[in-house]
Amino acid sequence: MKAMAITTFGPPEVLKLIEMKKPQAGPGTVRVRVKAAGVLPFDCGLREGTIGYAQQQNFPLIPGNEFAGVIDQVGEGVNQFAVGMEVLGFSLFHSYAEYIVVNADQIVVKPESMSWEVAGGFSGNGQGAQMALESVGINEGDTVLIHGAAGGFGTFACQLAKAWGAGVVIGTASERNHEYLRSIGVRPVQYGDGLVDRVRGIAPQGIDASVDAAGPEALRASIQLVQDKERIRTMVSDEAAMELGVPLLRGTRTAVSLQGLVDLYTKGLIRIHIREAYQLHEAPEAHRLIETGHGRGKVVLLVSDPH
């Protein structure tokens, strides 16, 4: 099979198209022929060797933790899935490949109404947003602040907060993404100098909870805006969180939680914007786009013919 692999830590060019043997499904797992896979900032950190997981891996290392495809092999003890079923799911690595073996408790059936592009980029950001919002607690009528609101994670977090009862969701983004945020029911605010005052102008009553997907400065702004640090989380700034006394994000990904997100999608409560779709061999270009920052929606790889 073909896969895009990290051959050494470094810039996007270290991603190389390689040939590998197909993995085989074992007990409790299924093999999926991947149709589409999401591209996340986590993948870029893995490629650079700047996240802890990276130093524990061997080369060649296949990145990618969200995917969608068709089951083509079922392992012993798996009764709820069969060959030919269309699924989406999560695996910490290995999604940038034509085939992936994954635990059966990390996948769900893909709805017919969900495109392969959307399905391939659904679980990573979706469950990340789910865990973050569960951690801060979303109560009916809350005012919630999401930093980096227009990206893949932010798009999920904003809509999920609203679906769970938040009264007002404020999202930081560059001005060119403000209309996009309004289209998903979010009050946009320009990030950068003066952010705290701008947010207070929109929400003089205060911010109840905040999730950061932008960086340390955004996290520091949340400290000034949210009274209870227990209701702040970050996806990208663990060192700053420890310095500021903000709890680190913890959570567990399950098929049950993923199914809950899929149900919200089928009800029209979550919409996913595909920013760009690349072919598998174009993964370096996808990484370059992710690293420009300030993007709108999801970046995905088309691994095999999605149509």
Provide the pLDDT confidence category of residue 222 given band limits of 50, 70 and 90.
Answer: very high
**111 and 138 belong to one structural domain:** no
Of 227, 244, 261, at which residue does a domain stop?
A: 244
**pTM as predicted:** 0.94
**102 and 44 belong to one structural domain:** yes
**131 and 222 belong to one structural domain:** yes
C-beta separation of 98 from 303 below 8 A: yes
What pLDDT sits at residue 63? 97
C-beta separation of 211 from 169 below 8 A: no
Q: Which residues contact 98 (CB under 8 A, 6 or more apart)?
A: 1, 2, 3, 22, 33, 34, 280, 303, 304
> Structure tokens of 206?
């205060």
**27 and 67 belong to one structural domain:** yes
**7 and 62 belong to one structural domain:** yes
Per-residue pLDDT tens over the stretch 251-289? 999 999 999 999 999 999 999 999 999 999 999 999 999
Residue 132 sits at the vertex; the CA angle it makes with 49 and 64, to the nearest 5 degrees, is 35
- Alpha-carbon span 240 to 247, nearest angstrom: 10
C-beta separation of 202 from 181 below 8 A: no
Letter string b/e over residues 277-300, b meaning 16 or more CB atoms within 10 A of that residue's CB: bbebebbbbbbebbeeeebbbbbb
Q: Which residues contact 183 (CB under 8 A, 6 or more apart)?
A: none
Per-residue pLDDT tens over the stretch 102-156? 999 999 999 999 999 999 999 999 999 999 999 999 999 999 999 999 999 999 9
**182 and 101 belong to one structural domain:** no
Provide the pLDDT confidence category of residue 74 given band limits of 50, 70 and 90.
Answer: very high
The pLDDT of 69-82, averaged and rounded, is: 98
**130 and 116 belong to one structural domain:** no
- Asked, for residue 58, whether it belongs to a domain, the answer is yes
**195 and 291 belong to one structural domain:** no
Is residue 307 scored above 60 in pLDDT? no
Per-residue pLDDT tens over the stretch 20-40? 999 999 999 999 999 999 999
Peptide bond into 60 cis (omega under 30): yes
**231 and 281 belong to one structural domain:** no
- Alpha-carbon span 3 to 15, nearest angstrom: 10
- Asked, for residue 267, whether it belongs to a domain, the answer is no
**138 and 200 belong to one structural domain:** yes
Q: Average pLDDT, whole number, for the chain?
A: 96
Provide the pLDDT confidence category of residue 64 given band limits of 50, 70 and 90.
Answer: very high
Which residue range(s) make up the domain with 178? 126-244
- The domain total for the chain is 2
Here the CATH number for the domain that contains residue 10 is 3.90.180.10
Provide the pLDDT confidence category of residue 306 given band limits of 50, 70 and 90.
Answer: low
Percent of residues, the chain, with pLDDT higher than 70: 99
**21 and 97 belong to one structural domain:** yes
What pLDDT sits at residue 293? 81
Of 244, 262, 287, at which residue does a domain stop?
A: 244
